[in-house]
Each structure stands twice: as structure tokens, then as C-alpha cells.
């Protein structure tokens, strides 16, 4: 693999794997179907593998995709766990302004966990 790697692509990969459909994955992630297709295209190029094969209205993972999905799921869980406060971070002595920047794909995953923590730990 060459170039920068966008971690959001793996969130899309997992959603397509879990849903078995590009359209259903797009709905679950609250993004458009073309955005999911574009993300898969970028991953296909990086991995030089189709990742999913069409089977009727569903998509079925390739053997390569099946081989990496456990690592993808574990990596996403690690990131989610980090955002749930498993990392020692004391916001009480930090500046009162917080700027967050996430892609649409990640907002629906991380904001429901992050915002309540910010509210709880900030005056």
C-alpha cells in the first residue's frame, strides 16, 4: 500500500461487511451510497483486491476481505475504547474551547460517546 491511509475507509469496510449491502451500509452510516462506493474503490485500489463480489442484491466478501476483517473490527474497537475514556486525559486543566473535526462517517460513531463525556467532565 502506498500513500496516506484514511481510517474512515475501514469503518465503511466493516459496515459493508456487516450489512452485506452497499446501500444498507450507507444507511447505517448515514452517508450516501456513492460515498460508500467511493470508499470501497479506494480500498480496492490500496489492497489490489475487489473486497466484495456482487451476488444478486448482496455483496459477498472475498477471501482477502474475510482474512482482514477481524483485524479491522479489532482496530475500530480499540479506537472506540480510546474515545470512551480508557486513556487518562484530564480536561479540567485544559483550555475551555474544544474544536472537533471528524468526517461524517465517524460523527455518528464517536460523537454519541464523546459528547456525554465532555458534558460530564467539563463545568
pTM (predicted TM-score): 0.66
Which residues on neighbouring strands pair with residue 55, listed in sequence order? 58
Which tens digits make up the pLDDT trace of 17-52? Answer: 999 999 999 999 999 999 999 999 999 999 999 999
Which domains are delineated in the chain?
Answer: 8-121 (1.10.10.10)
pLDDT band for 98, please (50, 70, 90 cuts). Answer: low
Terminal C-alpha separation, the chain: 45
* Residue 102: pLDDT over 80: no
Amino acid at each position: 500500500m502506498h500513500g496516506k491511509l484514511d481510517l474512515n475507509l475501514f469503518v465503511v469496510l466493516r459496515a459493508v461487511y456487516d450489512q452485506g449491502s452497499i446501500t444498507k451500509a450507507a444507511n447505517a452510516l448515514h452517508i450516501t451510497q456513492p460515498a460508500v462506493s467511493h470508499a470501497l474503490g479506494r480500498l480496492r485500489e490500496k489492497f489490489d483486491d475487489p473486497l466484495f463480489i456482487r451476488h444478486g442484491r448482496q455483496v459477498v466478501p472475498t477471501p482477502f476481505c474475510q482474512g482482514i476483517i477481524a483485524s479491522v473490527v479489532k482496530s475500530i474497537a480499540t479506537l472506540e475504547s480510546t474515545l470512551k475514556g480508557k486513556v487518562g486525559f484530564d480536561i479540567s486543566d485544559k483550555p475551555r474551547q474544544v474544536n472537533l473535526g471528524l468526517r461524517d462517517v465517524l460523527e455518528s460513531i464517536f460523537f454519541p460517546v464523546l459528547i456525554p463525556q465532555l458534558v460530564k467532565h467539563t463545568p
